[in-house]
Amino acid sequence: MALETLQIQLTDREHTFTYPQAEDQMILSVLEGRDYPLAKARLSGDSPVIIDIGSNCGAAALYFKSHYPSARIICYEPSAATHELLSANVGAIDGIETNPCGIWNREGTFRLHYAPGKHSGASTLQPSDGWPDDLGGEDIVTKKLSSELKRLDLPSVDLLKVDAESAEPEILHEVLTGAPDVPIRNIYVEYHAIAVRKYLTEELRPKYDVHLCSVTTDLQGTLLFVLKDSAR
């Protein structure tokens, strides 16, 4: 896997970030704020608690950290090779912790299917119809987010980012029903089908204001759900 590096400005220094060359456009979209525009989110205070599900090599974590230097950021990345790169990129930064597991609505060991071209950011637990059988994969451990909130003893979450390659509806339904007393104030979700976008919008609209942040293709983009005042 060919790798590229670039320098990211943090509060006290420049930080070297390494990422797969094949994912150049995706990484830059995150780092430049197109996928997760913080101006639309409602974050109060200088030390938000941020959970990053599907951290890949750490672009979103570094983007959030560059804007909120005192943030606590909890990353989840199930692929062994990708987690190794994630840990190398952000593991030594104060306030960022990484977990080598996935988040889903079931706990256990499951097969992560590699994507065409072995793009680390597109591997999935739920391959679509017609997914090639010869791409390979790896067995990963998954946990429920409601269980993780309890383990971490978090009374609230300021920002949740979910990019889990089609597992987003199950993850959000599980945490919102499994930990209803833990308010999640802002949720960024990358959707991978129009039906998923409609489902998430309908499911979360009663408690959340909905913003369309970006559209990558006809089927893919990013939504932001902001908890309404009445639900805070």
pLDDT value of position 97? 98
In a domain, 136, yes or no: yes
Residue 14 domain flag = no
Residue 101 resides in a domain: yes
**φ, ψ at 231 (rounded to 5°):** -105, 0
pLDDT in tens, 39-48: 999 998 899 9
User: Is 33 within the bounds of a domain?
Assistant: no
Q: Let me know if residue 13 belongs to a domain.
A: no
Q: What's the one-letter identity of residue 89?
A: N
**Residue 13: HSE in the Cβ half-sphere, 13 Å Cα cutoff:** 5
Report the pLDDT averaged over residues 139-149. 95
Residue 99 in this model has a pLDDT that exceeds 60: yes
Residue linked to tokens 């429920």: 144
Residue 129 structural domain: 44-185
Q: What is the DSSP string of 157-192?
A: BSEEEE--TT-HHHHHHHHHHHSTTS-B-EEEEEES
Neighbouring residues of 130: CB distance < 8 A, sequence distance ≥ 6:
none
pLDDT for res 119:
53
Strand (E) or helix (H) holding 18: strand 14-20
Global pTM reads 0.92
- pLDDT at residue 118 tops 60: no
pLDDT at 165: 77
**Per-residue pLDDT at 104:** 94
- Mean pLDDT of the 18-25 span: 90
The residue-averaged pLDDT of 158-172 equals: 92
Q: What is the pLDDT of residues 49-97, one digit of tens each?
A: 999 999 999 999 999 999 999 999 999 999 899 999 999 999 999 999 9
Instruction: Please indicate, yes or no, if residue 75 is contained in any of the structural domains.
Output: yes
| Domains identified in the chain, total number | 1
For residue 121, the domain's CATH number is 3.40.50
pLDDT recorded at residue 171 = 95
4-24 average pLDDT score = 90
Nearest C-alpha neighbor of 71 from the set 46, 93, 90, 44: 46
What's the pLDDT at 128? 60
